[in-house]
A and B are shown apart, each in its own frame.
Chain A
């Protein structure tokens, strides 16, 4: 009886493992697999410049061997992308000012055209919160 229970547990474990492995294969476990799944429209196992969603300069950066195609291996070699980008695409480099840096000065008109806003107006008087964005 004990032996039977043991066998049952072992076989269940093996089954679970097998299912897990095949599932991982199906969904494509590496970033390269997922990249191909998403962008390799003609299913030739590589992504051409036309299939690639990003800019040409970015394509050239990822296409390390410069053969005009991005292969799975070229994606898997890359550090994980950030910012919700497709796997394999590098995060954008942040060229903005950092905490402690002097805020770049500028002069912009208000929406109603009544104000010329400048940071220096409030220097020494009030902190300024700048909310950059657009409608979309």
Chain B
């Protein structure tokens, strides 16, 4: 994720959109490091920001992040939980809409990488598939 940003931040905007936790300790299936660090689902915007900061610090991420509000409006609009990648073209349409969750993540990173590489090389955005 950080590598994609470093490789293409000169030609594209990147934002981490921080949304609700996937496997916090109050979830049915918490991940081990959530238990270790006592990461709970955030009840306030401040809590959400502080866990987001933990992610940024531990991952040594330099990608700018924006934080979804507690009504999870943006998460819902993109049906993004637990994680998901989207690439928005200059015309405002989606050039890449990744699959849901961990399974969708890696293939969508590769799609985005391919898309950005072509754009960087040619200066022209890859065409949308014909409907």
The dominant DSSP class at the A interface is loop
Q: Is B66 a contact partner of A125 (Cβ separation < 8 A)?
A: no
User: What is the total of A-B residue contacts with beta carbons within 8 Å?
Assistant: 184
The dominant DSSP class at the B interface is mixed
Q: Is B78 a contact partner of A110 (Cβ separation < 8 A)?
A: no
Instruction: Determine whether A4 belongs to the interface, using a CB cutoff of 8 Å to chain B.
Output: no
Q: Is A108 a contact partner of B68 (Cβ separation < 8 A)?
A: yes
Contact partner of A127 (CB less than 8 A), chosen from B31, B90, B128, is: B90
Could you say which residues of chain A place their CB within 8 Å of the CB of B101? 83
A71 to B58 Cα, complex, angstroms = 45
Could you say which residues of chain B place their CB within 8 Å of the CB of A119? 88, 92
Contact partner of B15 (CB less than 8 A), chosen from A120, A125, A128, is: A128
A126 to B91 Cα, complex, angstroms = 9
A94 to B53 Cα, complex, angstroms = 29
Could you say which residues of chain B place their CB within 8 Å of the CB of A2? none
Contact residues, A82-134 vs B (CB, 8 A): 83-84, 92, 94-104, 106, 108-111, 115, 117, 119-120, 122-134
**In the complex, which residue of chain B has the Cβ closest to the Cβ of A133?**
B83
With contacts A96-B97, A99-B94, A100-B131 taken as known, whether A136 is within 8 angstroms of B22 at the C-beta atoms is: yes
Could you say which residues of chain A place their CB within 8 Å of the CB of B34? 135-136
Could you say which residues of chain B place their CB within 8 Å of the CB of A120? 92
Instruction: Determine whether A68 belongs to the interface, using a CB cutoff of 8 Å to chain B.
Output: no
Interface size bracket, B side: 35 or more
Q: Is A129 a contact partner of B15 (Cβ separation < 8 A)?
A: yes
Instruction: Determine whether A79 belongs to the interface, using a CB cutoff of 8 Å to chain B.
Output: no
**In the complex, which residue of chain A has the Cβ closest to the Cβ of B55?**
A135
With contacts A128-B13, A132-B83 taken as known, whether A111 is within 8 angstroms of B51 at the C-beta atoms is: no
| Interface-centre pick from B17, B33, B75 (highest chain A CB count, 10 A) | B17
Least Cβ–Cβ distance between A127 and chain B, in angstroms? 5
Instruction: Determine whether B107 belongs to the interface, using a CB cutoff of 8 Å to chain A.
Output: no
Q: Is B78 a contact partner of A111 (Cβ separation < 8 A)?
A: no
The interface of chain A, by Cβ under 8 A from chain B, is 53, 83-84, 92, 94-104, 106, 108-111, 115, 117, 119-120, 122-136
Additional A-B contacts beyond A100-B128, A132-B78, A135-B52 (10; CB < 8 A) = A99-B97, A104-B77, A108-B17, A124-B90, A126-B11, A129-B14, A130-B87, A134-B22, A135-B54, A136-B21
3 closest A-B pairs by beta carbon, nearest first, are A96-B79, A132-B80, A133-B83
